[in-house]
Amino acid sequence: MSNRAQRDETPRRSGNSRRLMLALLPLVGFGVIGWFLYQGLSLKPREIPSVLIDRPVPTFDLPALPGRPPGLASTDLKGEVSLVNVFASWCVTCRVEHPILMRLKQEGIVPIHGLNYKDESEAALGWLKRFGDPYDRVGADKRGRVGIDWGVYGVPESFIVDAEGRIVCKQIGAISEKGLEERLLPAIRAARAGEPVSC
């Protein structure tokens, strides 16, 4: 009996630390996977980042809404930093960001141009009359082809264009107060200062 006890003891010492490591493995695995999943909570996979960042705006020339000149063309977007806002009268979410656009216009923070996307002109004019018109220029993109050139896949979307006519920032979805403070206004300031824009 005592013989067997002595024989069994020797392998156990090196096996102990090995068993400890194996026992900790699920915990470590949990930690690693948990960290990745936690990061995943803040991802937005449905948002498609723009491939037009730092590229010149696509060439286009859109007519104005009837009775509301001027229209919007790519040549108009050179010379100053501006915000191009894709909107439509049928777009409900556009109403959510609209007060922010009106405030930007009233405080003269940045010139705003509208891209009226796949809309009936009469409906668009009625919408602007009813809710307010924050735009300098509005281009009527009835077929949505100019929108496709800008990589638009939903409404509303907004782009910040620098003085050289390059797209430097894209906002997917309605502009929020937080998005304005944290992303768009700093981008506008950087673009105006000629500094690289992080967006």
Partner 1 sequence: MLRICLLLLSAGLFSVAVLAQTTGPDRPLDDPAAERRAIALHKQLRCLVCQNQSIAESNADLARDLRQLVRERIAAGDSDDAVFAFLVARYGDWVLLKPPFNAATSFLWLGPVALLVLGAIGVVVWYRRLGARPLSVAPLSADEQARLETLIEEDDADEGRNT
Binding footprint of partner 1 on the chain (CB under 8 A): 3-4, 7, 11, 46, 48-52, 118-120, 142-145, 148-151, 153-154
Which CB atom, from 20 or from 123, has the smaller least distance to partner 1? Answer: 123
Instruction: Provide, rounded to whole angstroms, the least separation between the CB of residue 40 and partner 1.
Output: 16
Of residues 167, 165, 168, 166, the one with CA closest to residue 187:
168
Which CB atom, from 28 or from 51, has the smaller least distance to partner 1? Answer: 51
Instruction: Provide, rounded to whole angstroms, the least separation between the CB of residue 86 and partner 1.
Output: 12
Residue position matching structure tokens 């002109």: 121
Distance CA(192)–CA(168), nearest Å, equals 11
Instruction: Provide, rounded to whole angstroms, the least separation between the CB of residue 74 and partner 1.
Output: 15
Which CB atom, from 146 or from 187, has the smaller least distance to partner 1? Answer: 146
Which CB atom, from 3 or from 42, has the smaller least distance to partner 1? Answer: 3
Which CB atom, from 2 or from 194, has the smaller least distance to partner 1? Answer: 2
The answer to whether the beta carbons of residues 112 and 135 sit under 8 Å apart is: yes
Instruction: Provide, rounded to whole angstroms, the least separation between the CB of residue 143 and partner 1.
Output: 8
Instruction: Provide, rounded to whole angstroms, the least separation between the CB of residue 29 and partner 1.
Output: 15
Which CB atom, from 5 or from 108, has the smaller least distance to partner 1? Answer: 5
Rounded (5°) CA angle 159-165-171: 10
Instruction: Provide, rounded to whole angstroms, the least separation between the CB of residue 186 and partner 1.
Output: 24
